[in-house]
Amino acid sequence: MKKLFLYIILFCLSAKAQDNKKSVFTLLPAMGLNFCQIHGDSYSGFDKLGSFLGTSVNARLNKKMSLELGFYFSQKGARHNSNPENGDFSFYRVNLNYIDLPILFKYQINSTYFVTAGPSFAYLFSYNENIDNTDMTGTYYFNKNEFGVNFGLGKIVKEKFYVEIRASNSIIPIRDYGIIANKIIFPNPIATLFNKGLYNNIISLIVSYKLDFNSKNGN
């Protein structure tokens, strides 16, 4: 809850700065796809697809910089399909459903391209897990709260349409190895360094549409 209050305070301070500068607020409804994997498990590859849907409010700080606060439904997780021809009979799938709240700084490189970076907080409200075609939901604990970092590169396709590729990674484990340690064959070096846990690793393809709250400064 404290994190949420900090989130709101930062936005209000930014909003005040925008108001003083007569800058433009924009609403950015967005949808897209998540390409997901979990660092620290025994599998690799962004083989799990997930939905990304929500909106953000962008408050301009100056001609190049803006602060963007998001509210999204974001599906994460991992998937591994069996491959009997190569002697691999294991199957794994976990679907993690989050409410994601990123705080991103956006820098406009030029009239076409921009970059984003910043932290995010996410709340896990539901999940399901299947190991070797057996429902294991609730057997192994996932942390409800996720803290991550985000980096993105985007392009203004038309005046009001944006396309962005965004990478995000957990900075604290979404699950400790614990009881499933015997299933971890090749622990991720980053996970090993921090806490020997499992970490979400996501690449998102996001399409958004800009809605202006006012148009005093155009763009």
pLDDT by position in tens, the chain (length 219): 555 545 555 554 555 544 554 557 899 999 999 999 988 776 777 889 999 999 999 998 888 999 999 999 999 999 888 777 777 778 888 999 999 999 999 999 998 999 999 999 999 999 998 888 888 888 888 999 999 999 999 999 988 899 999 999 999 889 876 545 444 444 555 545 555 688 999 999 999 999 886 644 444
**Half-sphere exposure (Cβ direction) of 23: Cα atoms closer than 13 Å:** 20
Among 1.10.357.10, 3.30.2230.10, 2.40.160.20, 1.10.10.10, name the CATH number for the domain at 2-212. Answer: 2.40.160.20
As given in the structure block, the two tokens for residue 17 are 């700065």
- The sign one gets for the Cα dihedral 200, 115, 102, 172 is positive
Phi, psi values for residue 143, rounded to 5°:
-65, 140
Q: Alpha helix (H) ranges present in the chain? A: 2-20, 189-194
pTM strictly above 0.85: no
| Domain ranges across the chain | 2-212
